[in-house]
Each structure stands twice: as structure tokens, then as C-alpha cells.
Structure 1
Amino acid sequence: MLLNYLYSHFLEESAFAETCGIPLHDLLSLMNRRIFPAPSYIYESNSRSVSFVSDFDEDATYRFHLRGHEAWFDAIRLFGFEKEERARRYFFSRYETAKQTFLTSELGRKLAEIVPDVPEQFNSSHADMTWENFLKGVYGVCTRDGQPESVFLKQAGVMFIEELTSTGPGSLATPELRLLAQAVTLLDRVESEFAPHEALHASRQRCIVDVQSKFLDKAAA
């Protein structure tokens, strides 16, 4: 059920502001100044509650923030970000560190050898898109914690997996299948479960569930 999912992984906006220890209008100001991401889900309620005591009709809008984004607020408070450019520089300092760490790792180097065009896609246009999506709350939907490191690993995982599987099942040699399995495991660690109505259409289905059943289970068999 959608509400169960939202309340398990997210906080309604007023509760999120309270958790951060700031008034709601201050949180809204951070979003307006493009320092803090927008809510990842907006839930419009037109509902009715029936109980022994009283019936209740409600028409309201709820805005849900990823619980993990509290860590981004902590960084804003720690470093005193007042303008977007400083917040963006901090985001990409962490993002770039995650990128270099991954691409110099054994898995990252081997994946880049097989599909060298993926690292080249992390250019300035990609950075602009990443920052805009971060501010829109997109990575609160598709990553577990919404942090810059997870954002990079989610992007890289999807991109490498899509490239590796683009030629279809049966096209990969055993060493490539091993790399594919490691990339799927990496993506599984950082990518969210997605809301019930999104699951079948999300990258988790395409890049983890489908890849495991079409490529990896058959290889294991």
C-alpha cells in the first residue's frame, strides 16, 4: 500500500522540518533558494474516516521527504550554505570523489574497459541534469539515502548494466557475466525499492530483477 511505503521511508514535510529542528518556513526557504531538494512525493488526499466516535472527511495535500535527506540538511547547517553555488560545489565534491573511487576500483576499471563510453557520459551536461534532478527530489525516489555518493553509484550502475545487456541474453561471455553480476549487486545496495505503483516501471525492475532472471539465472543454470 502506498501510504505504508511513504511513511516507512519518508517523512511528511512538517514532521521532516521538526526532525531537522527548524520551522517549516525555513525548510521551504531552503528549497526556494535551491539549496535543499523538493519533496520526492506529493500525496493528494480526498478521503473519509469512519469510526464509532465520528466520521471525518479530508481534502489535503501531503509532501513527503526522504528520511535520508536529513543528512543533507545537517551538511547545510554545518557548512552554512546560503547560496545554491556553494551547495552545488559541495554536492559535486562528494559526487566526484565517489566517481573517482569507483572508476579506479577493480570493478570500475574492468567495466570501463568493456564499455568505455560510459565514463565519458559524466560530462558538464550530465552534471547539470544531476543537480536539477537532485533539487527536484528525484533521487529521494530512486536511491535509499539520497546522498551524492549513492546518486553517482545509482547512475553508474544503471548505465553500465544497460550497456552490458544491450545486445540481449546469451551475448555475454562468462567474465562479462561476472562483472554484470557485480554491477547488479552494487546497484541493489544503493537503489530504492520504489513505491508499489512504480516497481514494475522502475530501473530496479529493468536493471536488477529482469537482468537477474534473463542473464544471471540462466548463466548460473
Structure 2
Amino acid sequence: MLMNYLYANFLEEETFVTTNNITKEALSALTRACVFPAASYVYTSKGSSVSFVSSFSDDATYRFYLKGHSAWLESVVRLELTTEDHARQYFFSRYDDAKRTFYTSDLGQQLSEFAPDIKTQFDSDHANATWDHFLNGVYGVCTRDGQPETVFKKQALVLYIEQMTTKGSASSAQVKLQLLERAVAALDEVESDFAPHEVSQTSRQRCIIDVRANILAKKPA
């Protein structure tokens, strides 16, 4: 159920502002200033409830923020990131650190050797799109915590897995399958589960569920 998923992984706006000791007006101001992401889900409710005690009609809009975005809000306040330029610089300082760490790791080095051209895709256009998606709440939908490090890992692992499973590229070579399995497991750690109605349209379906079912489940023991 959608609402079960939202309340398990997100905080509705009233709860988010109370938990983070901020007002709705202040949160809205940070969003308008382009230093904090918009709500990842907006749910419009038009329903009713009937019980022995009374009946109730509900016609309201609810905004859900990723729980992990509380950490970003804390950084915005603590570091006084009052302009979009400052917030963006901070975001990419962490994003670029995550990129360097990834490519010095064993998994990152092996994936880079397999598809060296993917590194070139992290250019200025990609950075602009990443920042826009962050502000629009997209990474609150598709990552587990919405943090810059997680955003990079999600992006990179999807690109590598798609490259490894492109038609004509998949191979039964044991070494490659082991690398693919590690990449899928790493993506599973950072990518969200997505709402039930979304899963079939997402990279979770393409790069985790389908890969495990159609390729990894058939690899030699």
C-alpha cells in the first residue's frame, strides 16, 4: 500500500518540521532559496471515515520528505548555506569525494576497467541535471537517504549495470558475473525500494530484480 510505504520511509511535512525544530514557513523559504529539496511525494486526499463515534471527511494535500533529508537540513543550518551557490558547492564537494572513493575501491576499479567510457558521462551537463533533480526531490524518491554520496553511487552503479547487461554484452564468464553480482548488491544498498506502483518503471526493476532473476540466478554455481 502506498501510504504504508510513505509513512515507513518518509516524514509528512507536519512531522518533518516538528522533528527538525523548524517552521513550515522556514522550510518553504529554504526550498524557494534552492538550498533544500522539495517534497518527494505530494499526496492529495479526498476521503471519508465513518465510525460509531462520528464521521469525518478529508480533503487535504500532504507533503512527504525523505527521512534522510533531515541530515541535509542540519548541514544547511549548521553551515549557513543560505544561497544556492553555497549549497551546490557543498553538495558537489561531498559528491566528488564519493566519486574519488568509489574509483579507488576494488569494485570501482574493476567496473572502470570494464567500461572506462562511463567516467566521461559525469560532465557539467550531468552535474547540472543532478543538482536540478536533487532540488526537485527526485533523489528522495530513488535513493535511501538522499545524500550526495548515495546519489553518486546510485547513478554510477546503474550506468555500469546497464552497460554490463546490454544486449550482446552479457557474458557467462564467471569473473564478469561475479562483478555484476557485486554491483547489483551495492546498488541494492543505496537505491530505494520505491512505492509499489512505481517499481516496474524503475532502475530497481531493470538493474536489480530483472538482473537477479534473468542473469544471476542462472550463473554456474
Give the alignment's TM-score, normalised by structure 1. Answer: 0.97
For 1:72, the equivalent position in structure 2 comes to 72
Contact 2:164 2:170 in 1 (8 A): no
Q: Deviations over 1:61-115 (max 9, x none)?
A: 1010001100000101110111000000000000000001101211111111111
Residue 217 of structure 1 pairs with residue 187 of structure 2 = no
Task: Point out where structure 2 has 5 or more consecutive residues left out of the alignment.
Answer: none
For 1:198, the equivalent position in structure 2 comes to 198
Q: Which amino acid aligns with 1:193?
A: D
For 1:164, the equivalent position in structure 2 comes to 164
Residue 19 of structure 1 pairs with residue 19 of structure 2 = yes
**Cα RMSD over matched residues?**
1.1
- Work out the number of aligned pairs and report it: 221
Structure 1 residue 119: Cα displacement: 0.9
Q: Which amino acid aligns with 1:65?
A: Y
For 1:49, the equivalent position in structure 2 comes to 49
For 2:58, the equivalent position in structure 1 comes to 58
Residue 152 of structure 1 pairs with residue 140 of structure 2 = no
Q: Which amino acid aligns with 1:67?
A: K
**1:167 aligns to what SS in structure 2?**
coil
Whole-angstrom distance in 2 between the partners of 1:170 and 1:73: 42
**2:127 aligns to what SS in structure 1?**
helix
Structure 1 residue 171: Cα displacement: 2.7
Structure 1 residue 44: Cα displacement: 0.6
Whole-angstrom distance in 1 between the partners of 2:82 and 2:125: 24
Whole-angstrom distance in 2 between the partners of 1:107 and 1:120: 18
Contact 1:169 1:215 in 2 (8 A): no
For 2:127, the equivalent position in structure 1 comes to 127
Task: Point out where structure 1 has 5 or more consecutive residues left out of the alignment.
Answer: none
Q: Which amino acid aligns with 2:133?
A: N
Q: Deviations over 1:141-196 (max 9, x none)?
A: 01110000000000011000000000258534211111111100110000111001
**1:45 aligns to what SS in structure 2?**
strand
Structure 1 residue 46: Cα displacement: 0.6
Instruction: Write the mapping of 1:69-148 to structure 2, written as runs, cut at 5 A.
Output: 69-148=69-148
**1:192 aligns to what SS in structure 2?**
coil
Whole-angstrom distance in 2 between the partners of 1:170 and 1:72: 38
Q: Cα gap change, 1:170/1:24 in structure 2, threshold over 3 Å: closer, same or farther?
A: closer
Contact 1:169 1:214 in 2 (8 A): no
Whole-angstrom distance in 2 between the partners of 1:168 and 1:196: 31
Whole-angstrom distance in 1 between the partners of 2:170 and 2:155: 25
Q: Which amino acid aligns with 2:176?
A: E
Deviating runs (4+, > 2 A) in structure 1? 167-172
Q: Cα gap change, 1:170/1:82 in structure 2, threshold over 3 Å: closer, same or farther?
A: closer
Whole-angstrom distance in 2 between the partners of 1:159 and 1:52: 55
